Amino acid sequence: MIRTLILFLTLGALAACGMHTNNDPSQMAKATPTQHKALSLVPQPAFVEHRLGYLNLSTSVNVKIRHDTPDSEYALLALLDSLNIKQDKNDSVAIYLQLDDSLGLGDEGYQLLIDNNVTLSAATDTGLFYAVQTLRQLLPVKASTEYKLPKLNIRDEPQYAWRGSMLDVARNFFSIDYLKQHIERIALFKLNKLHLHLTDDQGWRIEIKSWPKLATVGGSTQVNGGVGGYYTQEQMHDLVKFAARHQIELIPEIDLPGHTQAAIAAYNELACDSVIFSQPQNKCDDVVGPQRLALYEGTCVGFSALCTSEKPDLVYGFVEDVLREIAHIFPSKYLHIGGDEVLNEEAAAFPAFITEVDRIVASLGRETLAWEEASAGDIRASSLLQFWNDDYDISSALEKGIHLVLSPCSFTYLDHGNYNGQPGAYTWCRAEGIPLQRVYSLVPENYKQVIGVEAAMWSEAVPNDATADNRNWPRLAAISEVAWSTQNNRDYDAFTRRLSALRAHLDQLGIEYYKEPQLGWE
Ligand code: TNX
């Protein structure tokens, strides 16, 4: 609040001095003293002040790292290296990377000043990392002999603390290499959470040492019967570090108590003993009789659940073992416990289950994050719920003070088409698909108690990396701006012009994006 006020006062004061605060590119060209080209930045920064002229950066520069800020230092040096810009202590142009806690731009904010030098300042290494990403977008991707940087002062900070991308690695398995690529890509757009949907009916993707068959058996297939796969704990430890160096937190999801067929196939005793004699209420016709204890390669949802009603000791012991190991691997404040779509015999036991699992999460010193249906349980007010059905009544949770991660399916479910009728895409939430403009039109400010926004890429219909790229990009860039930039700073036409110009950056990252006509990428 105070920060917003300070920013507001600063903006007011600067506007009064005749400085330029309008970020609409067409306005910008008119109002600025020089004919600067509109900046191609996504997400749009909070405040851009244009100054006269350009700074010419040559093939060398004097890099001055003032403090111990390893992640932004690494990112800056990698950027310079990619452009073949050498460090030279005697160069007349310097790039300063420095901590400054007087900026009033929060933990993630930064200032990027380009005058006769380039000065990146922030209160944290994270803020500096974002300053580097902005600089990266201002520079081309190909090395040249001279770079013309517009003189300016950018002061920037995100509106929301949670800016997420979810990958469903359970329905189809994705390699560690792909996850690393994805981290590098979303980092350019200042996204800061990578939510891994690690378990579902079709696959259990994380090694659990106390229940080893979860991964070796539960991870041995995927939708349509591929070989599946799982991540070892060591690989995930390494990925946690890799993500952290990109200011991205991995959020592990163990989907409970439903979406657990892979676990049940590995350990049949987790299901109710009578399960093979009953038909799940949601009529997944392909899962009856012995199939209710077997691996599953189809795409029906809601038929599986752990048997809390008859075997509470076994089930809660299992959950505790799993979450203890998960908490050991992932340092995140929040553990995602799933909680969606329990549509079988265990529906009645669901609220009490959620209450108990929140208690287990608390005993591990963590907070609970769960899909919206978990509002049926008595969970702590410090929990987060992930809102996914556009019209879900979440008021009981809001009254408790619980905050929301917004993933309303008709705006953020990227397994839906980039356009109406895209082959292979899901349509259940929005028949016309979810085009870029639709994603961009989400207004998080219209919801209450929002911590941020997350796009979900479910993978029942996403069998490979290229399809995942096509579904995620360029729409994740829209998610980034919706989560980072305030509503008065968002404008779809301006966004498309800015993003359109960043195509070379996406190409450089090897992204096989959908060639969105509205960006002129056909
Ligand atoms: C709903 S969203 C699901 C997922 C599916 C997805 C397909 C949510 C919590 N559950 O299990 O993969 O729809 O779009």
- pLDDT tens digits for 110-166? 999 999 999 999 999 999 999 999 999 999 999 999 999 999 999 999 999 999 999
Ligand 1: does its nearest atom lie under 6 Å from the Cβ of 415? yes
The label of the residue with tokens 């605060």 reads 21
Most ligand 1 atoms within 8 A of CB, residue of 340, 416, 462 to mutate? 340
CA of 302 to the centre of ligand 1 (A): 10
DSSP string, 252-272: EEEEESBS-HHHHHH-GGGS-
The label of the residue with tokens 């079709």 reads 202
- pLDDT tens column, 66-99: 999 999 999 999 999 999 999 999 999 999 999 9
The label of the residue with tokens 């380009």 reads 114
pTM > 0.85: yes
CA-373 nearest atom, ligand 1: 9
Q: Say if CB 430 and CB 409 are below 8 A apart.
A: yes
CA-407 nearest atom, ligand 1: 2
CA of 341 to the centre of ligand 1 (A): 8
- pLDDT tens column, 430-483: 999 999 999 999 999 999 999 999 999 999 999 999 999 999 999 999 999 999
CA of 65 to the centre of ligand 1 (A): 45
pLDDT bracket for residue 282 (50, 70, 90): low
pLDDT score, position 503: 98
Please report which helix (H) or strand (E) contains residue 178, including its range: helix 176-188
Q: Using CA positions, which residue lies closest to atom 10 of ligand 1? A: 340
pLDDT bracket for residue 283 (50, 70, 90): confident
Q: How many CA atoms lie within 13 A of 88 on its CB side?
A: 12
Q: Say if CB 411 and CB 439 are below 8 A apart.
A: yes
pLDDT bracket for residue 285 (50, 70, 90): confident
Ligand 1: does its nearest atom lie under 6 Å from the Cβ of 341? yes
pLDDT score, position 37: 63
pLDDT score, position 280: 64
pLDDT score, position 346: 86
CA of 480 to the centre of ligand 1 (A): 21
Most ligand 1 atoms within 8 A of CB, residue of 202, 301, 371 to mutate? 301
Q: Using CA positions, which residue lies closest to atom 11 of ligand 1? A: 301
Average pLDDT over residues 293-300: 96
Q: Using CA positions, which residue lies closest to atom 9 of ligand 1? A: 340
Mean of the per-residue pLDDT values for the chain? Answer: 93
CA-259 nearest atom, ligand 1: 11
pLDDT bracket for residue 36 (50, 70, 90): low
Please check the confidence at residue 24 and state whether its pLDDT lies above 80.
no
Ligand 1: does its nearest atom lie under 6 Å from the Cβ of 318? no
CA-168 nearest atom, ligand 1: 12
Average pLDDT over residues 390-398: 96
CA distance 515 to 357: 43
DSSP 319: H
pLDDT bracket for residue 22 (50, 70, 90): very low
- Direct distance between the N- and C-terminal alpha carbons of the chain, in angstroms, rounded to an integer: 43
pLDDT score, position 28: 39
CA of 133 to the centre of ligand 1 (A): 32
DSSP string, 335-385: EEEE-----STTGGGHHHHHHHHHHHHHHTT-EEEEEGGGGGS---TT-EE
The label of the residue with tokens 């979406």 reads 259
